[in-house]
Structure 1
Amino acid sequence: MTAQAAPAPRKWPRRAAYAGLAGAAGLAVLLPTGTAGAGWLLAGQVLDVRGPRVYPVRVRARAGNRITLTRTPDTTRDIPLSFVWATGHARLGTVLSVDRATVTREVAEVTRGALVTGLRGYTSGYVFEGDPLSARGLPFEEVQVQGELGALPAWLVPGTTPPDDTWIIAVHGRGAPRGEALRALPTLAASGHRTLVVSYRNDQDAPPSADHRFHLGHTEWRDVQSAIDYARTNGARDVILMGWSMGGAAILNLLREWDHEGFLRALILDCPVVDWNATLHMNARQLNVPPIWTWTALKLIQHRLGVHTTDLDYRSLAERIDVPTLLYVDHDDRTVAPAPTVEFAHAAAAHVQLVETREAGHCRSWNLDPDAYERRLGDFLKSV
C-alpha cells in the first residue's frame, strides 16, 4: 500500500482506535496539522506508557450466549478472542453472522463483570484472564525478580511432568499483561521445565522507568537478564527464552549484549518485532499518515531512545543465532511487519524452524489453531 493523502478528519478517530488496539505495537494516532507536531505525537504514541485506553467496540445487543458487536477487522475474525471493557472480561466464541455494521458471536464465558448492551470495550487475542491457577488450572508461585529498577513480579510455574533443571523464561509484548503467556502455558508446563512468566519496567505492577516510556526492548532487555540471573541463582542449568512481539525484541536486544556461553538452550519467538522501522512505516501507511510525518517520528524516537536507525532493525543478528529457534509469523499481521521476520528466519535457516500462518493477525497463531500451535511447540521443546 502506498502513502495517500490524509482522509477527512472524521475518519481518523475510528481508524486510529482500531489500529491502536490491533496489538502490542499498534499506533493510535490523532494527528494535528504540521509535520513537527504530527511527528511528535506519532512518536509519543509509540513510546508513551501512559496513553489513554481506547474502547472502540460497542455492544449493540446481548441475548443469552449471543452478543452483537461493532463490526471491525478484529471482531470478524472467526478465532477465539476476548472482549475487554473497563470493569470486565469475556471470552468470545464462533462468529454467527456478519452484516454491514455489526458482528454477532457466541459468548464462551463471562469471566468478570456484567456484559450488557451499551458497553464499550476492545477485542484481544490473549483470551484468558487471571493467573495460571484460575485461568489454566496450573499451580504456581508468585515470586519477585530483583531488577535494575526494583522488584519485578513473576509467576513461577512448575512442570507437570518430572521436572528438570532447564527453565523457560516467558516475556510478554508491549503494553500486554503477563497473561499473554497463559495460552501457551499448559504446553510449556507439560515439557517438564519450570516456566518463569516475567514482568518488566513500566508494567502495571513493576517499577516505572524515569521517563515513563517504552524503550522498544532497548532497556527492557536488562529485566530479561535479571530473570535469567534469578533462574541461575535458583538452580537452572540453562534457559529457553520465549517472547511475544516487543518481548521478542527485548530478547533480540539481550542477544546483542549477552555472551550466553551455553546457558541459552533455545529460543521461541512469536511475531517478534524484528524491524521497528518497517513496523512503524507499515502502521503509518495503514493510517494514511504522510511519509514525512513518519520520517519525523522515527527521528524523534531515535533521539529519545538514544539509538540509531540500525539499532531498530535486528536482521543483522541472524548470523549470531547459534541455538535451536522456533519462530512464528503471521502474514496478515497488521501490527508488526512480518517480512523482516521471514528474512531473519531465512538468514538463520540453519537454526530456525519457521511456522507461517495467515489470517490470524498479530500473535494470534495460537488462536487460529490451538491444537496445531501446541503440537508444534511441544514437539520443539522435546527436540531441544
Structure 2
Amino acid sequence: MTAQTQPRPETAPRVWPRRAAYAGIAGAAGLAVLLPTGTAGAGWFLAGQVLNVNGPRVYPVRVRAYAGNRITLTRTPDTARSIPLSFVWASGHARLGDVIALDRVTVTREIESVTRGTLAAGIRGYTSGYVFEGDPLSARGLPFDEVVVPGELGALPAWLVPPTEGPADDTWIIAVHGRGAPRGEALRALPTLAASGHRTLVVSYRNDLGAPASPDHRFHLGHTEWLDVRAAIDYARAEGARDIILMGWSMGGAAIFNLLRHWDHEGFLRGLVLDCPVVDWNATLRMNARQLNVPPAWTWTALKLIQYRLGVRAADLDYREVASRLNVPTLVYVDHDDRTVAPTPTVEFARSSPDYVTLVETREAGHCRGWNLDPTAYEHHLATFLKSV
C-alpha cells in the first residue's frame, strides 16, 4: 500500500552544498569535511565522522539581519525551504515561519517565536527539523512523567506520556529518536501518539545527554543501541504493557531492525512506525560520499574501518533481509529527496512486503521532515495507522 503526499512548489534550485552532505550522519548542522590526503587517511577520517559521538558542532548559517518578526539568513537549500524549521545557535533556539523573500545569497523568513536566547545580526547557527524545544508539557502542552529505564550500561532517562483521550489501555508506544538527535525529535508526532489511547515512552539510549556513554564512546549505528530499546520494552512489560508499537526515526529505525534480529517478540510487538529509517548503512555512506565527491576507494576504506570498529560484516549493515521478515503492520515514511539516509533501500524494503507495509512517499521534505512538509497529512497517516492496529 502506498500513500502519496503532494509536494509543495520548490522556491529555489536544488543545489546541495558539500558541507551539508553529512547532516544526518554527523549531526543536524552538517560537517565541514576536510579530507586528508591518502586513501587510508581519508578512510580513517570518514569512518571517524560516522562513529564519533563528540564530533564538532558546525554553525554554517549566519544571521544577516533581524528586526521585528523577520530574520534574514544565509541562503542554503534548507533555509530556502518554506516549511516549519528551527534555527539553533550556541545559546538559543527559534522557530522559523514562512519564506518572505529570497535572493541569490540570502533568505528572509518570518520568526514564529524565540524559545531560548537572544537573536541578533551576526549570530551563526544551523537549521533543524526539530521545531519544538523543551519537554512534552512546555513544548506541546502534554502532561508527562520523567521515568528511568534500567539499561545495560546504567539509567536511561525517558518521558512517559499518558493518552489524552480516555483511560490508557495496555498497549504502549515506544519512540526511538535518531543518531545524535534529542528525545525532542518525537515532539512533532507526540500529540498524535497521545491521542491514540496508548501510553508513549520516549526513550533515550547510550551516548545521549544524561544517558551512560558507550565504553568506546562511539555510535554503533544501532548494533548496540538496540539493547537499550530492548530495556525500554522490558520496562513497559514490567509496568503492565500487554503489547507495544515501536516508532523509530532514522538510526532509531536501524536500532529497531537490529532488535528484530535478536528478539523473538512472540506476539508482543503489535506494529511498527518508521520515519526515514536507515535500511542500508552501506548505501547511505556511499550516497553521502558521492555528494562530497569522495573517491570510491576512500569510501570503501571507510566502510571496512566501520565494520572493523563495530565488529560487524558489510551484510550486517543492510537490514533489508530483516525487514523482509516483518510480520506486523508497519507504517513507513520516506522522502525521495532525502540527502542524509539513502531512500531507495527503504522503498525496496517497503515494496517487498506489501501485505504488511504502508508506504507514505513525499518529495522536497528532506530527512525525517515529512511532518514539517505537511503536518496534517503526516498526522492523518499516523493516526489512521494507529487506529488500524
TM-score normalized by the length of structure 2 = 0.94
1:204 aligns with 2:209: yes
Deviation above 3 Å: which 4+ runs of structure 1?
14-17, 20-27
| Matched position secondary structure for 1:345 | helix
Instruction: Classify the secondary structure of the residue corresponding to 1:320.
Output: coil
Residue 143 (structure 1) aligns with: 147
1:33 aligns with 2:37: yes
Partner-residue secondary structure (3-state), 1:46: helix
Aligned twin of 1:103: 107
Q: What percentage of residue pairs aligned between the two structures are identical?
A: 79
2:291 equivalent in structure 1: 286
Does 2:326 align with 1:348? Answer: no
CA offsets 1:316-340 (integer angstroms, 9 cap, x no match): 1133100000000000000000000
Q: Deviations over 1:200-244 (max 9, x none)?
A: 000011000011100000000000000000000000000000000
Question: 1:222 corresponds to which letter in structure 2?
Answer: L
Identify which of 175, 179, 193 aligns with 2:180: 175
Query: Superposed, which structure 2 residues align to 1:152-301 within 5 Å?
Result: 152-162=156-166, 163-301=168-306
Corresponding residue SS for 1:153: strand
Structure 1 contact 25–246 (Cα < 8 Å) conserved: no
- Of 71, 78, 85 in structure 1, the residue corresponding to residue 75 of structure 2 is 71
C-alpha separation between the residues in 2 aligned to 1:286 and 1:271? 19
Q: How many residues align?
A: 371
- AA aligned to 1:109 is S
- In the alignment, what sits opposite 2:118? 114
CA distance in 2, matches of 1:309, 1:40: 17
Correspondence for 1:44 among 43, 48, 57 = 48
Deviations 1:13-42 (A, max 9, x none): x94532233566787321011110000000
Identify the residue that residue 4 of structure 1 maps to in structure 2. none
Separation (CA, whole Å) in 1 of partners of 2:24 and 2:71 = 21
The C-alpha deviation readout for 1:171-191, integer Å capped at 9, x for no partner, is: 000000000000000000000
Are 1:19 and 2:21 matched, yes or no? yes
- Partner secondary structure for residue 164 of structure 2: coil
Q: Determine if contact 2:147/2:158 at 8 Å carries over to the other structure.
A: yes
Corresponding residue number in structure 2 for 1:382 = 387
How well do the aligned residues superpose, as a CA RMSD in angstroms? 1.2
Q: Which amino acid aligns with 2:22?
A: G
In the alignment, the residues of structure 2 paired with residue 182 and residue 312 of structure 1 have an alpha-carbon distance, to the nearest angstrom, of: 28
Aligned residue number for residue 58 of structure 1: 62
Aligned partners of 1:25 and 1:46 also within 8 Å: no
Q: Which amino acid aligns with 2:186?
A: A
Output the CA distance in 1 between the equivalents of 2:97 and 2:111: 6
Structure 2 vs 1, CA of residues 374 and 331 (structure 1 numbering), >3 Å: closer, same or farther?
same
SS at match of 2:21: helix
- Counterpart CA distance in 2 for 1:22 and 1:142 is 27
Cα gap change, 1:24 to 1:342, in 2 (>3 Å): farther
- Mapped contact 1:91–1:127 kept (Cα < 8 A): yes
The 5 A counterparts of 1:83-98 are 83-98=87-102
Check 1:132–1:24 CA distance in 2 against 1; reply closer, same or farther (3 A cut): farther
Q: 2: distance between equivalents of 1:306 and 1:132?
A: 37
Aligned to 1:3: none
Contact 1:23/1:362, CA 8 A, preserved across alignment: no
Structure 2: gaps (5+ residues)? 1-15
2:307 aligned residue: 302
Q: TM-score, normalised by structure 1?
A: 0.95
Q: Using a 3 Å threshold, how does the CA distance of structure 1 residues 45 and 23 change in structure 2: closer, same or farther?
A: closer
Instruction: Specify which of 324, 328, 343 is matched with residue 323 of structure 1.
Output: 328
Aligned with 1:265: secondary structure?
Answer: strand
